[in-house]
Amino acid sequence: MSEQDEAAELARLSLARPDASETERLQEAALRPKRLEEFVGQERVREQLSLVLESAIRRQRPPDHVLLSGAPGLGKTSLAMIIAAELGTGIRITSGPALERAGDLAAIVSQLAEGEVLFIDEIHRISRPAEELLYVAMEDFRVDVIVGKGPGATAIPLEVAPFTLVGATTRSGLLTGPLRDRFGFTAHMEPYSTEELERVLHRSAGLLGVPLDPGGAAEIAGRSRGTPRIANRLLRRVRDYAEVRRDGSVDQPTAAAALAVYDVDELGLDRLDKAVLDALVRRFGGGPVGLSTLAVAVAEEPETVEEVCEPFLVRSGLIARTPRGRVATPAAWRHLGLRPPGPVDVLPLDLDTA
């Protein structure tokens, strides 16, 4: 049986129960840490945030608004829920794209109880009318509801209860200056180390009831791209393989075999990552090549290549973004089992990325 056939068979078996997708969703939620002391990694952010929350609790006042930035899957949503739990208050969750009109935001903010947490994911995608209303809500705890249209329109001020806004963004550079300046505490979340991911995996394995030894944890952590969400997802897929093909326990050989079936290599590259790398090296001689051309070569949208694949490939030192286009590094050639170009060919890359 081929690796593709094995992957399809495992997927079929893991979805055999009618409630499998719901079970998966509930398991995902169960793996989230509930308190700050349970949150693994991001020690500096945790220390800073604990001071902000402890001070607010002692003053019996809502803490300053919080902005969390970083790549997807690093725990921004979990931290927002933890903030609400530490404050002993409720949380309302929405996202930037859902707030198309100022009235959408006004309806949410006006229903907040005193001290409640409002979490806006992807806050950089909030519409301009909603953002302008948010300025006043964050600073003065007031929203201005516009009644009527044209010259006869009037603004009716509506007081809202003091609340704490927690904004999450994967692209903090897209936030406007006025919005960014209204956050009293900002934190940037970094990718996790392999050791931190191993701690995440052991915690998750305990919650899922999966026997996981140190070798299996190290194997999964090393292929998780520095991201706890990916680590937990791979753990569940390795669990499926272990239950179907092995004895249910996860050691290093089992984890390696399972991840090979699911097409995740030793660096954590998946099918699309490897397709981008292969096209850049084999079809275009290592580049430079434009983003649109590279996307066509792998039959994907340019936004998918730029936002999904490139961040990890650049961080891993496999490709470089230069003014002339994307360029494969010597490490990329070696990862594909090819001889990298000579020193003269890679000299422009060194200059561009210096």
**What confidence tens digit (pLDDT) does each residue in 256-276 have?**
999 988 888 888 888 888 888
The single-letter code of the amino acid at 10 is: L
Q: In which domain, by residue range, is 243 found? A: 3-29+192-261
77 is catalytic: yes
Last residue of a domain, one of 167, 189, 211: 189
Q: What is the DSSP string of 280-310?
A: IIIITTT--B-HHHHHHHTTS-HHHIIIIIH
Spatial contact of 133 and 179, defined as CB atoms under 8 Å apart: no
Nearest to 257 by CA among 245, 272, 268: 245
Whole-number pLDDT of residue 36: 86
Q: Out of 169, 170, 254, 329, which one is annotated catalytic?
A: 170
Question: The whole model's pTM is what?
Answer: 0.78
Q: Are residues 165 and 199 in the same domain?
A: no
Nearest to 61 by CA among 143, 157, 141, 168: 141
The token pair that represents 226 in the structure block: 């520095």
Residue 266 domain flag: no
In the chain, the number of structural domains is 3
d(CA 154, CA 248): 66
Nearest to 238 by CA among 221, 228, 270: 221
At residue 251, does pLDDT exceed 50? yes
Residue 35 domain flag: no
Half-sphere exposure of 267 (CA within 13 A, CB side): 18
Q: Are residues 12 and 48 in the same domain?
A: no
229 is catalytic: yes
121 is catalytic: yes
What's the mean pLDDT in 125-139?
Answer: 86
Residue 99: CATH number of its domain = 3.40.50.300
Q: Out of 76, 223, 225, 274, which one is annotated catalytic?
A: 76
Whole-number pLDDT of residue 142: 81
Whole-number pLDDT of residue 20: 46
Q: Are residues 50 and 75 in the same domain?
A: yes
Identify the three-state secondary structure at position 114.
coil
Residue 279 has what DSSP assignment? Answer: I
d(CA 147, CA 166): 29
182 is catalytic: no
Q: Out of 121, 240, 251, 273, which one is annotated catalytic?
A: 121
Last residue of a domain, one of 242, 261, 280: 261
Whole-number pLDDT of residue 31: 79
By residue count, the chain amounts to 354
Whole-number pLDDT of residue 315: 86
Most confidently modeled of 33-37, 188-192, 207-211?
188-192
Average of per-residue pLDDT values in the chain: 82
Q: Out of 77, 169, 227, 254, which one is annotated catalytic?
A: 77
Per residue in 62-101, pLDDT (tens digit) is 898 999 998 888 989 999 999 999 999 999 999 888 888 8
Q: Can you list the positions of beta strands (E) in the chain?
A: 66-70, 91-95, 117-121, 142-147, 154-159, 164-169, 185-189, 319-322, 325-328
Spatial contact of 268 and 73, defined as CB atoms under 8 Å apart: no
Residue 75 has what DSSP assignment? Answer: S
Residue 36 domain flag: no
Number of H helices, E strands in the chain: 17, 9
76 is catalytic: yes
Q: Out of 223, 225, 229, 237, which one is annotated catalytic?
A: 229
Q: Are residues 128 and 9 in the same domain?
A: no
Identify the three-state secondary structure at position 59.
helix
